[in-house]
Amino acid sequence: MQYDDELYGKVEIAEPVLRDLIASEAVQRTKGISQHGITALIGITPPFSRFDHSVGAMLLVRRLGATVEEQIAALLHDISHTAFSHVIDFVFDDQNGQSYHEEKKEEVVANSDIPEILHRHGMDWRAFMDEDDFSLLEQPSPTLCADRLDYFLRDLEFLKLATRAEIRAAVESLKVVEGRIAVNDIGAARWLAYTFIEADRASWSNFREVGLYQVTAEAIKAADRAGLIGAADLWGSDEALWRKLRSADHPEVTRWVELITPGTRFTWSEERPVFRVETKVRSIDPPVAYGSSVTPLSVLDSAFARYRNEYLADKQGRWPMGVVSASPCIA
């Protein structure tokens, strides 16, 4: 199998287990799940899918010398995302943790075609469920890992934060030291760190996007209360759930769905908030490699450390959000 990825180029995938997993029903389902959920459907954020990101994370750890086992873990790491991805965390009031897909992962995989495929190749699916066992794939924030890097780099051109050449240079700057991802010089580390915060500001914890996630969550909750959708709809595609919400003949659902547009604005409203929302705020502190030693950028660059701390502090707490729309459905 030759896979052509926009970040990592053409890669020959010869391992039968990887080819079989990519072709599996469970992994193929993620083609219908956008990385950005509802905002991708309405054209605000990049349209790439959880499939694109999962294969990308696999290709990145592969590029960095990972075992086949770690490549499998990377490919499967987002397999339990629901339709609209992290919108579901707003449905269940876990905006800051955003861990619903992690809580459901074992259940989803156990009931999929993944265990049989891995058994056929002499592997136990349970060995791939704890991402902490795979140091290139996952690391606690704010250090570098393939998951964090791939979705970041994949967003940059759409967000107009980097050119293809800059993204390629960032990938080339990565190296592995003692089983962890690091950067080969301080200039590349600074570029990654500051650009990551700009991506968070522009998209992942952007005020409007957080508001649209919460509005969509309210629509889903209203549709569920009215019996118009069920649990199975969450495990379908973005498009299928979006069609159900838009076609719902129910005033409360319609009231919220009409707000899910690029034209809806959100205001800071202490006096009359429609809702109060917190969200996950993201940053990185890239380890810089000098020979066999690795030092976080924040230790080497006190200006960056102050900048990052101030950014994180400014985003904390529950935001009181008002909603302004051309439609008078929310006062």
- Sorted by where each starts, the structural domains of the chain and their CATH numbers stand as 2-206+280-315 (1.10.3210.10), 207-279+318-324 (no CATH)
- For the sheet with 174-177, list strands across it: 174-177, 180-183, 287-290, 293-296
pLDDT, residue 286, reads 98
pLDDT, residue 29, reads 97
pLDDT, residue 327, reads 60
* Beta-ladder partners of 321: 268, 275
In whole angstroms, what is the distance from residue 129 CA to residue 118 CA? 13
pLDDT, residue 94, reads 82
pLDDT, residue 330, reads 47
Tokens of 49: 């899918």
Residue of 99, 195, 181 whose CA lies nearest to 145 = 181
Q: Which helix (H) or strand (E) holds 177?
A: strand 174-177
pLDDT, residue 326, reads 57
In whole angstroms, what is the distance from residue 92 CA to residue 213 CA? 12
Tokens of 285: 């502190």
What backbone torsions phi and psi does residue 276 show, to the nearest 5 degrees? -115, 130
Residues belonging to the chain: 331
Distances (CA, A) of 55 to 17, 77, 151, 158, 293: 14, 10, 11, 19, 30
Segments of the chain scoring below 50 in pLDDT: 329-331
Question: What's the predicted TM-score (pTM) here?
Answer: 0.95
Q: In 3-state terms, what secondary structure has residue 267?
A: strand
